[in-house]
DNA sequence: ATAGGGTTAG
């Protein structure tokens, strides 16, 4: 592409030289650029009609070759050459260089250069191109004071009617924590286009006013003046963190009605599903992209990987890895970290480790991912070794890294190690523990049978214990049959009226065991009042590109007959191996009986039977469930793994059970 | 010859 020195256009061929300049976009092109510059000198004389555009092109080219001093030198020589009427031409040079600085995120430098314009004399006025850039840098540096100054200068000059200026002012105010001022600018605009609406939607989103962002989005769609675009989708995304179902439907409808869907629209829709735990919807959307021939980029893939992990959609996740390799997207730490997590979440610790080992550089997130991968699989010792290795590399663990190591300790019952990490987190690293850390500690202590200590821990913690903290204690009390503290935990949990439906079952079971039937009734009525439906135990499995869901006692599946037949056959066989379904009732819900009065078959058993029927011998069985696994199913799964010689990978809401030949990676500690 | 809103990982 690029002419070497000897193939440079002749000095007289200005057009060819300028084309060459414009094509210099990377540091490697710098020699050609310098050579072309040298041959262009006569053209750059102010008397030449093309002098101004040529200088602009040179500044742009130097800037995109990361040669900012050279770009600056061209600017300065322009300043000394232009006078009076020609100054507008120099303003363009400033604009171009400021633009280069903002795209390089050098916002302070951009603002310095902006501020240096007017002291040079009355000829160097910033114009309607300069102000949007300056406001953008104010927004990026959260410099409200300067932003206000710039905006008032804009108003004095009468440039505030310019929509580019207005849009950047909206964004500046919102990002500097003044959404109402942003709205005032928006409201005062005579004519609004898509970008005006996007700026306002994004403004409210960024300022944390999610409902208002959604309202503006809806108003915009209802107006039907112009159609939402990719910018609209991306702007509403931060406001859709835990969105209402109807709002997600609304956005999806707007997305569906877009005639030309840019990649960012797909990516934003994917992210909205992923952030709202609509994992199946997210994977379906990704599959549709593949079907429609939409070329994914690294953002698409990084967004699609977590839902694959959540669903244990291993074949889709694996395919994404192939796409990443084919498109030569690595090294890319965001993708690699997402890949590790997807593999770990699918129960493929080995693949996660391979990604980790292949990385060229690892940040705290990478280490946290691999630590949590080992932790979830019940390999606490390895998790601790890796965590120590990270410290040895001089990396500073953050709050989330400690959640990972504490969770790893609790999953493996490493009581003393876990306590030590909790102490070092506060004393050595001065990280204030959050509810997640306390939950890990209560879980660690409680399941290690130190129920009293766990309870004391909750009583002395400096923040208000949330439902998860009490839930961890209640869980421990159930395991260790501690009725006294269990009821305290249940009462506290009930007072909080948990959002998580899973706790209600645990709660009412505890009350039932204590014979507190009035409270059982009360729990039910609270659930009814709040319109909370019992979370039906469900398991999902991936077969091919399809995700199959099984519910407790499910008979809707087309293969239902075969599944139950297979299950009967399996349960018959393992009965002789110590399996006795009478012993453990059911953790999920003691009220869950079918019409014949028998306990309904748990969904994970149905899912296992389904996969045994539909996959060839030796294929690992992967099941993801929405509750914790119960003891009965855990034992059944272990024995089934023995008689069928299948690996069974069961992911529940808490961890992963990797079962091989009758032995589970959790060591029966969960 | 230049300007505005906007997507990804633990």
pLDDT at A84: 56
Closest residue to B5 (CA, C1′) = A199
Over residues A9-21, mean pLDDT: 90
Over residues A645-652, mean pLDDT: 95
Is the confidence at residue A596, as pLDDT, over 60?
no
Residues A173 and A203 sit within 8 Å (Cβ to Cβ): yes
Residue A406 approaches strand B within 7 Å at CB: no
pLDDT at A599: 60
Q: What is the mean pLDDT of chain A?
A: 91
Is the confidence at residue A586, as pLDDT, over 60?
no
Over residues A368-390, mean pLDDT: 97
Among the ranges given (A312-326, A348-362, A466-480, A580-594), the one the predictor scored with the smallest mean pLDDT: A580-594
More confident residue, A546 or A114: A114
Strand order in the sheet with A663-664: A546-551, A538-543, A621-625, A648-651, A656-660, A663-664
Nucleotide nearest to A368 (CA to C1'): B10
Residue A590 binned pLDDT confidence (cut-offs 50, 70, 90) = very low
Is the confidence at residue A592, as pLDDT, over 60?
no
Smallest CA-to-CA distance from A46 within A55, A34, A57, A35 is with A55
pLDDT at A514: 85
Residue A160 approaches strand B within 7 Å at CB: no
- Rounded CA gap, A113 and A107, in Å? 10
Nucleotide nearest to A127 (CA to C1'): B3
Closest residue to B1 (CA, C1′) = A53
In A 270-329, which Cβ lie closer than 7 Å to strand B? 271, 274, 297-299, 302-303, 305-306
Q: What's the Å distance between residue A587 CA and nucleotide B4 C1'?
A: 56
Nucleotide nearest to A398 (CA to C1'): B10
pLDDT at A581: 73
Closest residue to B4 (CA, C1′) = A164
Q: CB-based contacts of A483: which residues, under 8 Å, 6+ apart?
A: A477, A513, A514
Residue A56 approaches strand B within 7 Å at CB: yes
User: Coil, strand or helix: which one is A488?
Assistant: helix
Nucleotide nearest to A399 (CA to C1'): B10
pLDDT at A207: 96
Q: How far is CA A434 from CA A370, A441, A447, A475, A498, in A?
A: 22, 11, 20, 20, 18
pLDDT at A594: 47
Q: What's the Å distance between residue A426 CA and nucleotide B10 C1'?
A: 20
Is the confidence at residue A235, as pLDDT, over 50?
yes
- CB atoms near residue A580 (< 10 Å): 10
The bases of strand B with some atom under 7 A from any protein CB are 1-10
How is residue A242 written in tokens? Answer: 């835990």
Is the confidence at residue A72, as pLDDT, over 70?
yes
In A 342-381, which Cβ lie closer than 7 Å to strand B? 363-365, 368-369, 372
Interval A420-438: pLDDT, tens? 999 999 999 999 999 999 9
Residue A254 approaches strand B within 7 Å at CB: no
Is the confidence at residue A588, as pLDDT, over 50?
no
Is the confidence at residue A3, as pLDDT, over 60?
no
Query: Averaging pLDDT over each range in A228-232, A549-553, A555-559, which range is the top one?
Result: A228-232
Dihedral sign for Cα A342, A347, A349, A351, please.
Answer: negative
State how beta strands A621-625 and A648-651 pair: parallel
Residue A341 approaches strand B within 7 Å at CB: yes
pLDDT at A86: 59
H-type alpha helices, A82-228: 87-103, 107-115, 130-140, 144-156, 163-175, 179-187, 194-206, 210-223
Residue A101 approaches strand B within 7 Å at CB: no
Residue A570 binned pLDDT confidence (cut-offs 50, 70, 90) = very high
Q: CB-based contacts of A428: which residues, under 8 Å, 6+ apart?
A: none
pLDDT at A87: 64
């Amino acid at each position: 592409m690029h002419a070497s020195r000897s193939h440079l256009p002749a000095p007289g061929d200005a057009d060819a030289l300028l084309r060459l300049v414009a094509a210099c976009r990377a540091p490697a092109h710098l020699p050609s650029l310098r050579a072309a510059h040298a041959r262009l000198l006569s053209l750059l004389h102010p008397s030449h009609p093309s002098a101004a555009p040529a200088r602009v092109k040179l500044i742009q080219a130097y800037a995109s070759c990361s040669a900012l001093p050279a770009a600056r030198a061209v600017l300065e020589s322009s300043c000394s050459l232009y006078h009076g009427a020609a100054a507008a031409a120099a303003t363009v040079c400033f604009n171009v260089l400021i633009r280069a600085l903002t795209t390089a995120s050098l916002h302070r430098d951009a603002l310095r250069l902006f501020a240096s314009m007017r002291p040079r004399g009355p000829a160097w006025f910033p114009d309607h191109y300069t102000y949007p850039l300056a406001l953008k840098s104010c927004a990026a540096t959260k410099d409200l004071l300067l932003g206000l100054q710039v905006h008032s200068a804009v108003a004095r000059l009468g440039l505030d009617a310019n929509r580019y200026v207005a849009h950047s002012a909206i964004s500046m105010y919102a990002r500097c924590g003044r959404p109402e001022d942003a709205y005032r600018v928006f409201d005062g605009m005579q004519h609004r286009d898509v970008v005006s609406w996007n700026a306002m939607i994004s403004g409210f989103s960024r300022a944390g006013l999610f409902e208002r962002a959604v309202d503006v989005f809806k108003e915009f769609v209802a107006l039907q003046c112009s159609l939402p675009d990719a910018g609209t989708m991306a702007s509403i995304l931060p406001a859709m963190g835990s969105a209402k179902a109807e709002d997600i439907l609304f956005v999806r409808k707007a997305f569906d009605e877009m005639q030309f869907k840019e990649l960012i629209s797909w990516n934003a829709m994917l992210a909205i599903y992923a952030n709202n735990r609509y994992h199946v919807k997210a994977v379906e959307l990704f599959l549709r992209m593949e079907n429609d021939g939409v070329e994914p980029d690294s953002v698409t893939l990084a967004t699609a990987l977590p839902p694959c992990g959540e669903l244990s959609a291993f074949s889709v996740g694996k395919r994404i890895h192939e796409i990443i390799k084919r498109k030569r997207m690595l090294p890319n730490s965001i993708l690699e970290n997402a890949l590790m997590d997807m593999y770990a979440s699918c129960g493929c610790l080995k693949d996660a480790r391979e990604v980790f080992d292949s990385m060229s550089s690892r940040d705290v997130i990478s280490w946290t991912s691999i630590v949590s991968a080992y932790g979830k699989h019940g390999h606490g010792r390895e998790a601790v070794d890796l965590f120590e290795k990270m410290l040895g590399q001089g990396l500073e663990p953050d709050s989330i890294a400690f959640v990972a190591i504490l969770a790893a300790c609790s999953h493996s019952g490493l009581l003393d190690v876990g306590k030590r990490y909790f102490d070092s987190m506060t004393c050595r690293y001065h990280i204030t523990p959050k509810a997640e850390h306390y939950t890990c500690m209560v879980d660690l202590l409680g399941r290690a049978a130190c129920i009293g200590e766990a309870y004391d821990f909750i009583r002395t913690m400096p923040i208000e214990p949330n439902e998860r903290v009490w839930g961890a204690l209640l869980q421990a009390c159930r395991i260790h049959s501690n009725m006294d503290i269990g009821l305290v935990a249940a009462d506290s949990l009930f007072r909080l009226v948990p959002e998580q439906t899973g706790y209600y079952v645990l709660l009412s079971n505890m009350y039932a065991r204590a014979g507190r039937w009035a409270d059982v009734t009360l729990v039910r009525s609270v659930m009814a009042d709040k319109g909370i439906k019992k979370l039906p135990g469900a398991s999902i499995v991936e077969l091919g590109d399809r995700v199959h869901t099984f519910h407790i006692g499910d008979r809707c599946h087309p293969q239902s007959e075969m599944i139950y037949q297979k299950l009967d056959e399996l349960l018959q066989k393992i009965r002789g191996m110590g399996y006795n379904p009478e012993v453990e009732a059911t953790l999920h819900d003691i009220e869950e009986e079918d019409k014949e009065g028998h306990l309904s078959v748990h969904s994970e058993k149905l899912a296992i039977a389904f996969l045994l029927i539909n996959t060839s011998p030796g294929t690992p069985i992967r099941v993801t469930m929405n509750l914790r696994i119960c003891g009965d199913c855990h034992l059944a799964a272990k024995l089934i793994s023995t008689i069928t010689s299948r690996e069974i990978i069961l992911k529940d809401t808490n961890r992963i059970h990797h079962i091989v030949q009758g032995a589970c990676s959790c060591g029966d500690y969960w």
